[in-house]
Chains A and B, each alone.
Chain A
Amino acid sequence: MKKYLSKRILSSLLAVTGLFIMVFFLARLTGDPGHLYLPIDAPLEVRKEFSEKHGFNDPIYIQFGRFVSDLANGNFGDSLRKQRPAIDVVLEAIPVTLSLAAVAMSIALFGAILIGSLAAYKPNGVFDRVSRVVSLTAASAPDFWVAITAILIFSVSLRWLPTSGIGGFPYWIMPIGILVIRPLGLLVQVVRGSMITALSSDFIKTARAKGVKEKAVIFKHGLRNGLLPVITVAGDQAAAIANGAVIVETIFGWPGIGKLMIDSILQRDFAVVQASILITAIVILSINIIIDIAYAVLDPRIRHK
């Protein structure tokens, strides 16, 4: 297991390095960001002066050399927009997104396991049919529309919840609710399908024949075998949220990494783009390693391989 994890981490580091280099060159192919940082009416000479000062006029291999040298000293560069170290800007934003992602995925996963398992217990029963329709609708729901509609209903009309912002528990309800909907809908479908397969297996018949209680049959024997595909999809969904719950962050005013990345890309704030991609890549690769560990925990066959 240790050897496997070491190999995984090493290959992940190589992937991150490759990504980092690729992002450096691709970002700079978009041209000189000078005119985004100066007023539209700034004279040409002023723009040239700006580009020279920041090295945007230099050949790309010189810019890369400078970047690598700074990186070797732990310097990601300064945000052109915010006039402070890019890594500080990114490290402020990532916990917001990670907390949203962690809470949302926990709720989605547990909810999906419960609902999907119960639906699979009696396929084509009333509960199964209702949960299938609702989960399909949820999986297809556009975040933006749901968020705005939720604000209009729960904040403006009913005055039950705040419209947006960060604060105590009420401020979390809508953002988490919006983030949960799609992964919950998707995971319910996956759990249901996986559990139907598991519950129709021979070992389940054996367990029942031995007199094992139904609750244990579903949640101990069936679920454990049905969880592997669920973990894969859940990991994928978690990575998608960790990559930036952009819509939720934008609408509810949560200063997370998704919004930061989009704004930085549009503003060609190269240092922040690179720093945020690096940190996000590390988070996603960590999620992948956690999934691998989860596989090994769930399935002894994988562990002993």
Chain B
Amino acid sequence: MTVKKISLAISTASILAIVGFFSPAYSASKNLTVVLSEEPDIVDPCEATRSNVGRIVKQNVSETLVEIDPKDGSIKARLATGWKQTDNLTWHFDIRKGVKFHDGEDLNAKSVVKSIKRALNPKYDCEIRTKFFGNMSVSASAIGSHTVAIKTKKPQPIMPALMGTMTIVSPNTQEAKGVRNPQGTGPYVFGTWTPGQSVSLKRFAGYWGDKPVVENVKYVFRKESAVRAAMVKTGEADIAPNIAVQDATDSKMDFSYFNSETARLRIDMSRKPLDDIRVRKAMNLAVDLDALRGTIFAKGVVKQTQIVVPSINGHNPRLKPWPYNLKEAKKLVAAAKADGVDVGKEIVMIGRLGIYPNSTEAMEAMHAMLTEAGFNLKIKMMETAGWLNFLSRPYAEDRGPTLVQGQHDNNNGDAVFSMYNKYACKGAQSTTCDSKVEAGIKAATVATGDKRRDTWQEVQRRLHQDIVPDVQMFHMVGFSRVNPRINFTPSISTNSELQVSQVKFN
């Protein structure tokens, strides 16, 4: 009996010791743990436009010449203190003086030029180049010690906004993409990367700007949203920048924010019966967006009237969302049918698994609504690779009519980053070719100031009212969970970056 009692006591003590070994509590330290949904494959700053890279590297390790204010899309100084257009093909940027890279090198015009040339080198497929500079011919040169001239073959009035994507790295950085220990000028030095587990950053004592409060940052990776939310709840992590709507159940910790994504169904206007505007208008009238909001989509989503969100230059605030009007939708379908349009032809709805939370349910709901209006539809949910074959050129010549589920993100300050690809005759994802839209895109791209804004707004109006290339859905919201010891409010830019220097402690 004594032996049994002792054994029981030992077992109990052992269990308590083991579980006591792990007794998470909210830490009082000045360190921060951020839990992301995906580990970056690469931490090279020239890939910082990818959100899983940008959230670690952008403005933390490597800074850009300018920064776009998420509130209104205006451009603020960062590593460049000033900029001016000297002729219609050239911009000059003044580089901040007294700034050092983490490896001790000076930030100057030469190091900026080297960084730009590296990012734009076609040998290396840096995402900054492929996403924003594509076919643009750009050359950079140093004028004096702290002035950089950026010259293009065609006018680029938004060059300052483009420089908001250009992360600057030390001149000692290897030429080829794939650097595993990036050296920038940011408030944090890249620490260690334990593949599959974590990335750490450490506060840079020699930072040129205000000293951030957070001393060390650790990024961990959990694919499952419920686990990320649980980690913040238990104190194992401080911020989960992106959790699913169904896990955002704690009003004290959870924040919703516009994440600059716009959801739509892209109508393939080049295929019958979708080439008939009555059909496209009917589709917009048949989808009850209010029924989807607060059920399949988060309550905070906003009905969209155009592909760009309100903070983007070129957004037209005068456009009204499509009302839900099934009767009118049926009338339009009937009218088209009476004129010989084959409205009964099968239309395939191409969805992408996981493109946003409840993406499959959203397609099923819209399928039901459109069927009620008189259309004949079939849903095909696909993984990304298959979906891309339908979304982007080259399109299969023998394809039938499709509605492609899509989501577009633009928080780079100007509509130019959206319009050409989505609506120009040769746009990578465009199925529309309207001469007025084409002329408007061309004119707005080279215009400046109010003329630029007004031209974009007219293009939005024409698309929304006269062309109707999409079933317009929502400007989306994202959800973040933030530990109560942290003072941090997510914004539209949280989708692509998380500036640790903006994090404070309560």
Give A contacts to B, CB under 8 Å. 30-31, 33, 35-46, 49-50, 53, 79, 81-84, 89, 92-93, 96, 148, 151-152, 155-156, 159-166, 168-170, 250-255, 259, 266, 268
By the criterion CB–CB under 8 Å, are B19 and A156 in contact? no
By the criterion CB–CB under 8 Å, are A168 and B21 in contact? yes
* Interface contact tally, CB-CB below 8 A: 130
By the criterion CB–CB under 8 Å, are B127 and A39 in contact? yes
A-B contact pairs, 27 of them (CB 8 A): A31-B389, A36-B384, A38-B130, A39-B127, A40-B388, A41-B134, A42-B428, A43-B134, A45-B134, A81-B42, A82-B41, A93-B196, A148-B226, A151-B230, A155-B230, A159-B24, A162-B22, A163-B236, A164-B227, A164-B236, A250-B223, A251-B223, A253-B221, A255-B195, A259-B223, A266-B383, A266-B385
Q: Give the residues in chain A near B135, CB-CB below 8 Å.
A: 43, 45-46
Known contacts A41-B428, A42-B131: does B234 contact A84 (CB below 8 Å)?
no
**CB of B146, distance to nearest CB on chain A (Å):** 32
Nearest A residue to B39 via CB reads A255
By the criterion CB–CB under 8 Å, are A155 and B234 in contact? yes
Q: Give the residues in chain A near B111, CB-CB below 8 Å.
A: none
**CB of A105, distance to nearest CB on chain B (Å):** 22
Main secondary structure of the interface of B (DSSP, over half): loop
User: Could you tell me which residues of chain B, from 375 to 430, have a CB within 8 Å of some CB in chain A?
Assistant: 383-385, 388-389, 391-394, 417, 421, 428-429
Nearest A residue to B393 via CB reads A44
By the criterion CB–CB under 8 Å, are A163 and B130 in contact? no
- Would you call B23 an interface residue if the criterion is a C-beta within 8 Å of the partner chain's C-beta atoms? yes
**CB of A26, distance to nearest CB on chain B (Å):** 14
By the criterion CB–CB under 8 Å, are B130 and A46 in contact? yes
By the criterion CB–CB under 8 Å, are A162 and B236 in contact? yes
By the criterion CB–CB under 8 Å, are B125 and A30 in contact? no
Give A164 to B236 CA distance when docked, in angstroms.
Answer: 9
User: Could you tell me which residues of chain B, from 98 to 133, have a CB within 8 Å of some CB in chain A?
Assistant: 122, 125, 127, 130-131
Q: Give the residues in chain B near A250, CB-CB below 8 Å.
A: 223-224
The listed residue (A36, A41, A162, A255) touching B429 by CB distance below 8 A is A41
Counting chain B residues whose Cβ lies within 8 A of the other chain, the interface size class is: 35 or more
By the criterion CB–CB under 8 Å, are B49 and A39 in contact? yes
User: Could you tell me which residues of chain B, from 1 to 55, have a CB within 8 Å of some CB in chain A?
Assistant: 18-19, 21-24, 39, 41-42, 49
- Would you call B301 an interface residue if the criterion is a C-beta within 8 Å of the partner chain's C-beta atoms? no
By the criterion CB–CB under 8 Å, are A43 and B428 in contact? yes
By the criterion CB–CB under 8 Å, are B227 and A82 in contact? no
Nearest B residue to A88 via CB reads B195
- Would you call B137 an interface residue if the criterion is a C-beta within 8 Å of the partner chain's C-beta atoms? no
**CB of B49, distance to nearest CB on chain A (Å):** 7
Give A165 to B131 CA distance when docked, in angstroms.
Answer: 34
**CB of A31, distance to nearest CB on chain B (Å):** 7
- Select the residue from B19, B224, B391 with max chain A CB neighbours within 10 A: B224
Give A168 to B22 CA distance when docked, in angstroms.
Answer: 10
By the criterion CB–CB under 8 Å, are B18 and A169 in contact? yes
Q: Give the residues in chain B near A170, CB-CB below 8 Å.
A: 18-19, 21-22
User: Could you tell me which residues of chain B, from 439 to 467, have a CB within 8 Å of some CB in chain A?
Assistant: none
Q: Give the residues in chain A near B195, CB-CB below 8 Å.
A: 89, 92, 255
Q: Give the residues in chain B near A46, CB-CB below 8 Å.
A: 130, 134-135
**CB of A136, distance to nearest CB on chain B (Å):** 27
By the criterion CB–CB under 8 Å, are B19 and A152 in contact? no
Nearest B residue to A165 via CB reads B220
Give A152 to B231 CA distance when docked, in angstroms.
Answer: 10
The listed residue (B134, B227, B385) touching A253 by CB distance below 8 A is B227
Give A162 to B325 CA distance when docked, in angstroms.
Answer: 51
Besides A36-B388, A165-B220, A259-B223, 15 other A-B contacts (C-beta < 8 A): A31-B385, A35-B385, A35-B388, A44-B393, A82-B41, A83-B178, A148-B226, A163-B227, A164-B222, A166-B197, A170-B22, A253-B197, A253-B221, A266-B383, A268-B385
Q: Give the residues in chain A near B21, CB-CB below 8 Å.
A: 168-170
Shortest 8 CB-CB distances between A and B: which pairs? A255-B196, A83-B178, A39-B131, A81-B41, A170-B22, A41-B421, A42-B130, A43-B134
The listed residue (A35, A84, A259) touching B178 by CB distance below 8 A is A84
By the criterion CB–CB under 8 Å, are A161 and B41 in contact? no
Give A168 to B43 CA distance when docked, in angstroms.
Answer: 28
By the criterion CB–CB under 8 Å, are A160 and B19 in contact? yes
Give A117 to B221 CA distance when docked, in angstroms.
Answer: 42
Give A44 to B393 CA distance when docked, in angstroms.
Answer: 7
Q: Give the residues in chain A near B18, CB-CB below 8 Å.
A: 169-170
Q: Give the residues in chain A near B226, CB-CB below 8 Å.
A: 148, 151-152
Interface string of B217-253 (1 = CB under 8 A from A): 0001111101100110110100000000000000000
Nearest A residue to B232 via CB reads A163
By the criterion CB–CB under 8 Å, are A253 and B41 in contact? no
By the criterion CB–CB under 8 Å, are B224 and A36 in contact? no
Interface string of B126-158 (1 = CB under 8 A from A): 010011001100000000000000000000000
Q: Give the residues in chain A near B177, CB-CB below 8 Å.
A: 83
By the criterion CB–CB under 8 Å, are B24 and A151 in contact? no
By the criterion CB–CB under 8 Å, are B131 and A159 in contact? no
Q: Give the residues in chain A near B227, CB-CB below 8 Å.
A: 148, 151, 163-164, 251-253
Q: Give the residues in chain A near B236, CB-CB below 8 Å.
A: 162-165
By the criterion CB–CB under 8 Å, are A163 and B234 in contact? yes
**CB of B428, distance to nearest CB on chain A (Å):** 6
**CB of B198, distance to nearest CB on chain A (Å):** 9
By the criterion CB–CB under 8 Å, are B392 and A40 in contact? yes
Give A79 to B421 CA distance when docked, in angstroms.
Answer: 29
**CB of B90, distance to nearest CB on chain A (Å):** 24
Give A253 to B224 CA distance when docked, in angstroms.
Answer: 9
Give A53 to B123 CA distance when docked, in angstroms.
Answer: 9
**CB of A170, distance to nearest CB on chain B (Å):** 4
By the criterion CB–CB under 8 Å, are B428 and A161 in contact? no
Q: Give the residues in chain A near B417, CB-CB below 8 Å.
A: 41
The listed residue (A31, A96, A162, A168) touching B24 by CB distance below 8 A is A162
